[in-house]
Amino acid sequence: MEYQVIALDIYILSDSAAIWNALTNPDVTEQYWGKTRIESDWRAGSKIVYRRDGEVVDEHTILEVVPNVRLVHSFRPLFGEFKNEKESRVRIEIARGGSVCKVSLRHDDFQTESKVFQACSVGWPMILSGLKTLLETGAPLPDFLPLAPA
């Protein structure tokens, strides 16, 4: 059996407090996370709810939280073909180096042949790119429209 993991690092010209705010403030997440409001009280053991158009689409549990440094939570979509999969785990760490922060994401503990893994392998790079663009330019990343073959 092949172990499935998504591991990404991105470097953002921003401070850790601004990155943390962008990860935890629903008014900000809505701007770069596909119009999704991410809501929680951000304490260990609490739920994280993802709302899109008022509908709850994901519900996760916070496993560890160190503001401005680390967030670890379960990951469990509640819709479509994803709702019957077991939960997986997300770990986000923020490390400062001068005027730049490194944001490291590790998403693992997927079930075998996970559709969530397949979707998140595409989704996480877009989400982190949107986070970076918003924090560095003040404007959200436009929707990605694949180019047609020449």
Predicted TM-score (pTM) of this structure: 0.92
Phi, psi of 107 (to 5 degrees): -120, 120
pLDDT value of position 3: 74
What is the rounded CA–CA span in Å between residue 61 and residue 84? 17
Cβ of 64: how many Cβ atoms within 10 Å?
Answer: 10
* Domain 6-137 classification at class level: alpha beta
Cβ of 91: how many Cβ atoms within 10 Å?
Answer: 16
DSSP-derived 3-state class of residue 78:
coil
The residue behind tokens 């429209």 is 145
Ordered per-residue pLDDT tens for the chain, 150 residues: 457 999 999 999 999 999 999 999 999 999 999 999 999 999 999 999 999 999 999 999 999 999 999 999 999 999 999 999 999 999 999 999 999 999 999 999 999 899 999 999 999 999 999 999 999 999 998 877 666 565
Segments making up each domain of the chain, as ranges: 6-137
110 close to 7: Cβ distance less than 8 angstroms? no
Integer CA distances (angstroms), 117 to 1, 75, 90, in order: 15, 11, 12
Structure tokens at 19: 């990155």
